[in-house]
Structures are given as C-alpha cells and as structure tokens.
C-alpha cells in the first residue's frame, strides 16, 4: 500500500477530518508551501483549508512562518498526536474499569451480601492472620488506603516485609494505591521494581488510617485499621465474592 495512502487512513482513524489529513499530507510533501498552494493542488475551498490549517496547528501538527502565517508551511512530528491517542486510550481504560466497578455494585444481590463470613482480630492475632493470608494460593494482592498513618509507629513494616517475602516465594504480584506518602510508605514503594509491585501514591492528607487487601484467586478481603483510641491495630477478614470483586476492580481502576 502507498505510504501516503496508509498515513491518510491512519490520520482519519486518529480523528482528523478528511480535509485535515489531506492538508497535512500536502504540506508534508511540499515543505514551505502556502495555503493557496494547497487550495489549488487539493481542490478544496479556501475557507475549508484555513479551518483545517488552524485545527492542525492547534493539534501541534503544523507550523508556519510567524511573519506570514499563510506561507512557509511545515509539518511537525506526529509525536503529539500519538501522545494524545495514548492519553485517550488511558482514559478509556479507566472509564471501562470504573464502569465495571459500578456494574459490580449494581449487580450485588441482597442474598450475596446477607451472610458474609466476618472475623475480627487484634494486634498480634491481626498480624498472624495477615501472614497466614500470604501463604494461601492466590495470584495478585490488591491493596488500598492510608498506609502512612496506619503505620505511625513503624511496627507494621516488619510484618509487611514478611508478607512480601512469602508473596514473592509463592509467585504472587501486587498492585497498591496509597492515599498518602511519607517515610513508612517509601519503606515499601522504594522497592516496587524488586518486589514485583505496581504502586501509585496520591496526596489525600485527611484519609483515615485504614488499609484494605483483596486477592486475585480467592474471595477474601482484609481490612486493617486503628481502634478508636489508636492503641490497637484491628484486622477484619471478610469472605465474600461480591465484596472482593468490588475492591479488586476499584483498586485496579485507580492505577490505570
């Protein structure tokens, strides 16, 4: 296929109008031309050519001589168009995941929420249960919340390191969306590359000290939180497919 014909079709698929793609190709082949040159060669109305040129310039695809913008036209790299398409693709993926989250909420039936299995653990028992989870069979760990404030005295870092060690030993990966950064958070995220984890840290300063874990491969969700007096760490284990699916979809949607 002729390269220009192929490029013309790709530009159209990328959202350019027919006259915009036509003008871009003409300027590409005739560097330094004027708009009137394009009007005559491409047989398009002058006003249409002007509008197409302005649109291409706004998309950072063409430029002209500043002293006489109707002449000395030149095309620019397609890199800006590629970046815009990549951003659109990213936004589309995020939209799809958010719609899946909403859909999962809408389709959770009353029966599926009526009798979830719930267990509550405190301090050492909470840590032990968390480590028990790391030895179970699952493929991915999805985590979310304010790890920084939950871990205010640093006592959870050794527990998390043991959990990570077990996860890596069993071949699991991890996805984390962290609501607040800080030294305790960096104790974990600084090693993302080596610990097979994708993480993203936001800056929500007022988010409650809570940490949520869900797992691809089972129906378990584990909530960490500080008790009201902040003296104890409490872990709540929920066994519910609908709740687990909700959190997995929600956390993943925050990362894409």
**What pLDDT, in 10s, does the model give residues 80-99?**
889 888 888 877 876 776 67
Phi-psi region of 196 (alpha: psi -120 to 50; beta: other; left: phi over 0): left
How many domains does one find in the chain? 3
| Domain shared by 225 and 246, yes or no | yes
| Domain shared by 141 and 89, yes or no | no
Among 233, 251, 156, CA closest to 164 = 156
| Domain shared by 45 and 154, yes or no | no
| Domain shared by 156 and 234, yes or no | yes
Task: Give the dihedral sign, CA 11/12/15/17.
Answer: positive
- Name every residue whose Cβ is closer than 8 Å to that of residue 17 and which is 6 or more positions away in sequence: 52, 55
Note down the domain range covering 135: 116-255
| Domain shared by 41 and 89, yes or no | no
Grade residue 111 by pLDDT with cuts at 50, 70 and 90: very low
> Residue 145: which CATH number?
3.30.870.10
Instruction: Give the global pTM.
Output: 0.56
| Domain shared by 58 and 101, yes or no | no
Between vectors from CA 84 to CA 78 and to CA 87, what angle results, nearest 5°? Answer: 140
| Domain shared by 223 and 158, yes or no | yes
Higher pLDDT, 28 or 97: 28
| Domain shared by 243 and 133, yes or no | yes
| Domain shared by 92 and 139, yes or no | no
What pairs with residue 5 in β-bridges?
A: none
Tokens read off for 154 = 């640093």
| Domain shared by 122 and 244, yes or no | yes
What local confidence, expressed as pLDDT, does residue 98 receive?
Answer: 63
Q: What is the mean pLDDT of residues 209-224?
A: 91
| Domain shared by 51 and 130, yes or no | no
- Rounded to whole angstroms, the Cα distance separating 27 from 224 reads 61
| Domain shared by 180 and 135, yes or no | yes
Indicate whether 22 pLDDT > 60.
Answer: yes
Grade residue 142 by pLDDT with cuts at 50, 70 and 90: very high
- DSSP code of residue 115: S
- Rounded to whole angstroms, the Cα distance separating 144 from 51 reads 48
> Residue 34: which CATH number?
1.10.10.10
């Amino acid at each position: 296929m002729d390269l220009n014909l192929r490029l013309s079709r790709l530009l159209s698929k990328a959202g350019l109008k027919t006259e915009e793609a036509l003008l871009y190709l003409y300027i590409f082949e005739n560097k330094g031309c004027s708009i009137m040159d394009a009007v005559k060669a491409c047989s398009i109305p002058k006003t249409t050519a002007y509008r197409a040129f302005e649109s291409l310039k706004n998309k950072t695809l063409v430029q002209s001589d500043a002293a006489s913008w109707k002449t000395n036209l030149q095309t620019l790299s397609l890199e800006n168009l590629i970046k815009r398409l990549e951003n659109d693709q990213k936004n589309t993926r995020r939209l799809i995941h958010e719609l899946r989250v909403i859909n999962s909420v809408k389709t959770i039936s009353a029966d599926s929420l009526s009798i979830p299995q719930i267990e509550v653990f405190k301090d050492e028992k909470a840590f032990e249960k968390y480590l028990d989870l790391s030895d179970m069979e699952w493929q991915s760990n999805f985590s979310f919340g304010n790890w920084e404030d939950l871990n205010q005295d640093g006592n959870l870092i050794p527990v998390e390191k043991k959990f990570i060690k077990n996860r890596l030993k069993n071949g699991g990966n991890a996805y984390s969306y962290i609501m607040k950064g800080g030294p305790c958070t960096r104790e974990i995220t600084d090693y993302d590359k080596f610990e097979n984890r994708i993480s993203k840290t936001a800056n929500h300063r007022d988010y409650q000290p809570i940490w949520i874990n869900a797992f691809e491969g089972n129906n378990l969700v584990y909530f960490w939180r500080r008790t009201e007096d902040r003296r104890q760490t409490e872990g709540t284990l929920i066994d519910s497919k609908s709740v687990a699916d909700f959190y997995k979809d929600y956390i993943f949607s925050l990362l894409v």
